Amino acid sequence: MKYRQLITILALTMLAGCGRCGEEYYEKSLRFPEGISAEEKVEMAARVVPSDKQLQWQQMELTAFLHFGINTFTGNEWGNGKDSPDLFNPSSLDCRQWAKSLKEGGFRMAILTAKHHDGFCLWPTATTEYSVKKSPWKDGKGDVVKELSEACREYRLKFGVYLSPWDRNAGCYGDSPAYNRFFIEQLTELLTNYGQVHEVWFDGACAEGPNGRRQVYDWTAILETIHRLQPEAVTAIMGDDVRWVGNEGGRGRQTEWSSTVFTPESLERSADQNNSLGLNAMSRDLGGRELIARAQEVFWYPSEVDVSIRPGWFYHPYQDSQVRSLENLVDIYYTSVGRNSVLLLNIPPDTRGLIHEIDAQRLKDLRSYLDETFADNHLSRRSRLWKAEAGESREFAVKDGAVFNTLRIREDITKGQRVESFTLEAFTEGQWMKIAEGTTIGYNRLLKFPAMTAEKI
Ligand code: FUL
């Protein structure tokens, strides 16, 4: 582990009060009643809370993406759906090795590209011939989804699937009702035959099919299928439990609201509502007061940061020298998990069907680094819970001689997300000085500053 920088933390949890708030909470979403004031809307928005499965999802912090499929063998990032299944032939595929590496890295869930845009299915589906069934791997008798779901159970990891809505192989793509039926059948297989699934991931890609018509997805029926077959699974990106952060570079916003006025795009009213607020998934502010004043609805729709450990989403041998450094991964941890998001880090298995040694080692190094960083809380108070009211400040004693350069601060999100800004000051050599400030906190906020000592903060 080459990258070394002394980092220790002060960790604090706060429960932000909201003046005249009642006891009423709104799970997952809230539609404002007609005719209420902007101030009343803000107070209601402060009481939108996550569903149980959203809360459990947030607590995972580190989750992994596994991009693996026909592209692994062609060198492409997006296959055109015409590559021969003969190409899919990992020499020593071992999903237990994937699960073990992820576990050692401290990851809590693995999401597999069961099908990417090329349409090649990693399980022997009855819906198409374009799958592992037609490949030489295990004489067409293999099933990557099965192997990975079993390995995840063995290593106590949660398991998720990415089923690409865009399918460049399916003949019915573009014939909207037919493709929706086909897609739901694929989803049904994945959600019925492989035990518990904890996250279902859909990107928003949409195109024309061979008939020259643009596919119109039936999100209502698709999400209904998931709720029926896997009620514990969160639905991401084109789902309504987990929001795409808006970039693929590993960066959450400085101001990241889980309680947001951005309407999930799977809901029919999303285009109207988001357009009227001038919002898209990449907008800078998704939950500030001015927006709330103009909005009709608020959602608990927390951010997920998806980024790859390599330049590509799929494995390419020439990128073995471009695996992100430990330092870079630590930065990403701070700008994702440290900015009220869950990190979804992609680690693509190679042509052998293994997580490459370099990547596996990087994950271990990340784990050791984070373990060391967060091992000791240098705040000396036994209770580190602060029930704060707006404008209030509070002093916390720091352990004698402790050197620290990070503040970890959390809100109790079971009561919603409320904090809009905060300041950290340190008392050293007889005076107070400001050392950091932030806007939103949410589930988890990390602020880094030059290493220092202080009597109290
Ligand atoms: C995008 C896809 O187009 C990329 O290939 C990758 O799978 C990424 C995670 O999602 O929408």
**pLDDT of residue 144 exceeding 90:** yes
To test the pocket of ligand 1, the residue of 111, 313, 346 to mutate (highest count of ligand atoms within 8 Å of its CB) is: 313
Q: Residue 6: pLDDT band by 50, 70, 90 thresholds?
A: very low
Cα 203 to ligand 1 centre (Å): 7
Quote the tokens at residue 188: 């049904």
Quote the radius of gyration of the chain (alpha carbons, Å).
23
Mutual angle of helices 176-192 and 219-229, in 10-degree steps: 20
Quote the tokens at residue 355: 């997580």
What is the pLDDT, as a whole number, of residue 380?
83
Residues 231-284 have pLDDT tens digits of 999 999 999 999 999 999 999 999 999 999 999 999 999 999 999 999 999 999
Number of C-beta neighbours around residue 362 at 10 A: 22
**pLDDT of residue 88 exceeding 60:** yes
For 301-307, what is the mean pLDDT?
98
Residues 213-236 have pLDDT tens digits of 999 999 999 999 999 999 999 999
Higher per-residue confidence, 11 vs 206: 206
Per DSSP, helices labelled H in 155-269 are: 176-192, 219-229
Number of C-beta neighbours around residue 20 at 10 A: 7
| Cα 389 from Cα 364, distance rounded (Å) | 41
The model scores a pTM over 0.75: yes
| Cα 451 from Cα 457, distance rounded (Å) | 14
User: Residue 360: which of 94, 93, 97, 1 has the closest Cα?
Assistant: 97
**pLDDT of residue 382 exceeding 70:** no
Report yes or no: 73 and 120 within 8 Å, Cβ to Cβ: no
What is the pLDDT, as a whole number, of residue 203?
94
Nearest protein Cα to ligand 1, atom 10: 203
Q: Is 304 in the pocket of ligand 1 (CB under 6 A)?
A: no
Q: Is 205 in the pocket of ligand 1 (CB under 6 A)?
A: yes
What is the pLDDT, as a whole number, of residue 3?
56
What is the pLDDT, as a whole number, of residue 376?
87
| Cα 232 from Cα 243, distance rounded (Å) | 17
Nearest protein Cα to ligand 1, atom 6: 313
